[in-house]
C-alpha cells in the first residue's frame, strides 16, 4: 500500500470508522483502558507484532491499565498518512475492549 499523506478532510472521514480515536496535532491518538496491567501489556505485545509486520511503529505509553497510542509518520514530516489509518484499524481489530 502506498503511504500517502492525508488532508484534514480525509482524516476526519477516516476517524468515522475508528471509534475513540482523535486527530491531535499531527497524529491519530487513542487511550485503551484495560482491566489490569497484565491485559494492557498483553495488548502492547500483540500490537508490537502487528506494527512490525507493517514496518510502521507507534509512539505509545503504558501507565498501569492504560495504553495510549499516538500514530504519525516521521519520514514524511510527522504527518498523518494512510499507514497511520491502517495501523489504527489493526489496533481496533485486535482490541478486546
What CATH number does residue 63 fall under?
A: 3.30.1360.20
Residue 57 in domain: yes
Q: Number of structural domains, the chain? A: 1
| Average pLDDT along the chain | 94
Instruction: Flag whether 68 is in a domain.
Output: yes
**48 found inside a domain:** yes
Share of the chain above pLDDT 90, in %: 90
Helix/strand/coil (H/E/C) assignment for every residue in the chain: CCCCECCHHHHHHHHCCCCCCEEECCEEEEEEECCCHHHHHHHHHHHHHHHHHHCCCCEEEEECCEEEEEECEHHHCCECEHHHHHHHHHHHHHCCC
- The yes-or-no verdict on residue 18 having pLDDT over 80 is yes
> Average pLDDT for residues 44-64, to the nearest whole number?
96
Domain membership of residue 19 as a residue range: 8-94
Amino acid at each position: 500500500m502506498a503511504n500517502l499523506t492525508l488532508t484534514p478532510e480525509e482524516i476526519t472521514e477516516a476517524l468515522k470508522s475508528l471509534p475513540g480515536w482523535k486527530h491531535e496535532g499531527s497524529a491519530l491518538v487513542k487511550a485503551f483502558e484495560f482491566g489490569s496491567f497484565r491485559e494492557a501489556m498483553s495488548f502492547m505485545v500483540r500490537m508490537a507484532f502487528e506494527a512490525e509486520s507493517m514496518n510502521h511503529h507507534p509512539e505509545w505509553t503504558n501507565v498501569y491499565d492504560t495504553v495510549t497510542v499516538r500514530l504519525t509518520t516521521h519520514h514524511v514530516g510527522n504527518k498523518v498518512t494512510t499507514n497511520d489509518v491502517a495501523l489504527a484499524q489493526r489496533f481496533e481489530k485486535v482490541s478486546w475492549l
